Amino acid sequence: MPTITTKDGTQIYYKDWGTGQPIVFSHGWPLSADDWDIQMLYFLQKGYRVIAHDRRGHGRSTQTWTGNDMDTYADDLAALTEALDLKNAIHIGHSTGGGEVARYIGRHGTKRVAKAVLISAVPPIMVKTAANPGGLPIEVFDGIRAGVAANRSQFYMDLTIPFYGYNRPNAKVSEAIRTEWWRQGMAGGVKAHYDCIKVFSETDFTEDLKKIDVPTLVMHGDDDQIVPYQDAAVLSAKLVKGATLKIYPGYPHGMFKTHADVINADLLSFIKG
């Protein structure tokens, strides 16, 4: 399997297909690069080079018990882009991966970046604080921690329901999508996944977002039951200078899977624009 080795010895697995302008995908918690299969095939067929990695502790990368923090995630991404010598790249991040993209740019700049896309992403910050009164209470994330610690297999399977909006009236449930989500989650390490809950919920990306100086598209469904859009996309778009905000009525957190035709077309339009 293709991997790079980071300065602390962690092996980061990645996929790298095609030629042309590179598109780099950063996945959500607790998934892997496989979550981007639909998009990678779509853009590969459009003539782009597509790259996706498994975050440390996730998928086929090393099941780390240390270094599970957003700064290290961003540095791992930087190490990958440098190892592959990616230039003029479009960085697309979903959920926690959107935070990874923001922190990567915040720490490493945009010398290798052409555009950025945040899909259903966690920035600016998820948890409720005095500075973020619209956030989710810490008890929500304590509940996620408890679920992962007690029986993450069952917790992950249950989480697929709100993740894809399968609890909504007339929702067309795909058991295959649910099983694939569970498979990706269970491939990763429980310690890294447990640590990442604090990372995606409590990391403040405000200053990172302010540093983004390339064209940026912020996409979010208004029926996202995992990352409520009003405290995420709406605020992020205000912090990124010149960002384009696109809200999708009725779309869930995993909208790039449930509504791939719409999301892929909008991504292509933004990338070409």
**Residues 6+ away with beta carbon under 8 Å from 26:** 52, 53, 55, 77, 91, 92, 93, 94, 96, 97, 98, 100, 101
pLDDT digits 0-9 by tens, 147-166: 999 999 999 999 999 999 99
Q: How many CA atoms lie within 13 A of 178 on its CB side?
A: 18
Class of domain 3-272: alpha beta
> Along the chain (273 residues), what's the average pLDDT of each consecutive run of 10 residues?
96 98 98 98 98 98 97 98 98 98 98 98 98 97 98 98 97 98 98 98 98 98 98 98 98 98 98 97
Average pLDDT of the chain?
A: 98
pLDDT digits 0-9 by tens, 98-143: 999 999 999 999 999 999 999 999 999 999 999 999 999 999 999 9
Angle (CA) 186-189-192 rounded to 5° is: 125
pLDDT value of residue 221: 98
Phi, psi of 10 (to 5 degrees): -75, 135
Of 10, 22, 34, the closest CA to residue 183 belongs to 34
Q: What's the CA gap between 65 and 139, in Å, rounded?
A: 24
DSSP E strands, the chain: 3-5, 11-17, 22-26, 49-53, 89-94, 113-119, 216-221, 244-248
Contact 241, 212 (CB under 8 A): yes
Beta bridge partners of 25: 52, 92
Residues designated as active site: 95, 224, 253
pLDDT value of residue 1: 87
Report domain extents, the chain.
Answer: 3-272
